[in-house]
Amino acid sequence: QNNSDAEMTTQEVEEEESLTLKRTKKIKIKRTFDFSKYKTRKIALELAYCGANHFGFSSQGCVQASSENTTNAKNNSHIRTIEGALFEALKKCRLVDPSKEIFGEPSVDYSRCGRTDRGVSSIGNVVSLNVRCKGVGGGGGGEDEEDDEDGENGEEIDYVGNLNRALPDDVRALCWYAVPDGFSSRFNCTSRRYEYHFTRVVRQNLAPPPRGGEEAGKCEPEEILDVERMREACEKLVGTHDFRNFCKMNVKDCRDYTRHIKECRIEKKNTERTTGALLRETDWVLIIEGSSFLWHMVRCIAAVLFQVGLRADAPDIIDELLDLTKTPRKPLYAMAPEHSLVLVGCEYDDSVINPGKRRVSEEARQGLEMHALAAARMHRLKASLWEEIGGRAHSPVKEDADTPSHNVKRSRELTRGLLSSTNYGTAAGEPKGEPVSLKKRSTEKTYDERIADLNAKNERKKTTEAR
């Protein structure tokens, strides 16, 4: 009996050792990635993204570390941003040193061209940074090394393909460019181009039924959003002006509000739809290009243009807002919604970035195309569903109740509703209902008053610290 127990004990020990060995084999040995063994090169990366589900482009975790804002940086690091998704993908693909921060790291030399706001999309934003390239050994180079940088076989890492496999579905890398050391996607940019998309709705008015009891007849519809007036106002924005009345003023970080607008125009898109029984929709786009833009500048410009289009103000309101002697205080008005704004592209010197220097592998290009087509089909399906819902919600027009004036009012409501998903025109100082002229609005503080408030705040802070 004792021998049997001893044998069983020995057998159990052997089985335990066997299981332990199997578990050890299953455990993957995590290899350390020595980034210093690889060469790096400077590239510019072109990005496209849908900003609807992101809290802007800039990574909220990239606040400069200090005694005051270290806590804020940690608390904001989980906020979903395009730049945060890009940083995570770059580290996951080992294109940058995973052990280091990207923003503010001298060895990475990262810069971004357009710092789009929450909800704003882009089909051509550009960032630049140093990334790992083929070849072993420290150091790197830029455009000066030409094709030798692409490795021994003339091929480089598939930056676009690798990143798109790691990025979320609503963020895509489009292509990359080889740029020289010292290139900055922000400071080397010569112009930025934005588009603001909007829809104009026209409701066909019904004439009152004749006394003879015949059916009501159709009369000419009223164009609620006057695009020609908006185009006239656009021409006044071109040139070099002080745009402090067309932005969200931030005197702490910006003291110069002069900007140059190269182009500002409104074009009709080749789309026209009939929805419901009497509604006709047309899509339009505001195109604006400039060397640089102030905070919320494009959305403020669009908001003022809508005021002109809705006939609340004349096109001359642009001249008055640009003349600081006449209008030293910015009127209170709601910015145009962010979801319609798109950063279309960033321009650079042709010797550095041009279409002929775009780099993307055929595999990555095909993958990007298929991804875009699948996403477009999905959104078309969603759009058709909502159009069907709208059609079912449509109620027939009653001949004895709907008069032309009622239809005009309804058309205004639909037009203004499509300018925003949040009832355009309900900001502080702006009552609901019909649009109110900017001349009759409450106003914000002037630039000098804001500077005085900032100086007073800094003095109070110094006094508190001295105590």
| H or E element at residue 198 | strand 191-203
Do you know the residue count of the chain? 467
Residue among 75, 55, 72, 56 nearest 64 (CA): 72
Q: Are 110 and 186 in contact (CB under 8 A)?
A: no
The span from the CA of 304 to the CA of 438, in Å, is 8
| H or E element at residue 20 | helix 2-26
Q: Using CA of residue 151, residue 125, residue 166, residue 379, what is the dihedral sign?
A: negative
* Cβ neighbours, 10 Å, residue 277: 12
Q: Which residues are catalytic?
A: 117
Q: Are 438 and 331 in contact (CB under 8 A)?
A: yes
Q: Are 244 and 324 in contact (CB under 8 A)?
A: yes
Q: Are 185 and 112 in contact (CB under 8 A)?
A: yes
Residue among 279, 285, 402 nearest 341 (CA): 285
DSSP 8-class letter at 47? E
Percentages of the chain per state (helix, strand, coil), in multiples of 5: 35, 20, 40
* Strands (DSSP E) found in 306-385: 341-347
* Cβ neighbours, 10 Å, residue 142: 17
Pairing of strands 111-112, 121-136: antiparallel
Distance in Å from the first CA to the final CA of the chain:
86
Maximum distance among all Cα pairs of the chain, rounded to whole angstroms: 118
The span from the CA of 114 to the CA of 109, in Å, is 16
Structure tokens at 140: 């790197």
Cα 189 to Cα 112, 181, 186, 391: the distances in Å are: 10, 15, 6, 46
Q: Which amino acid is at 349?
A: D
Strand partners, 411: none
* HEC per residue, 148-167: HHHCCCCCCCCHHHHHHHHC
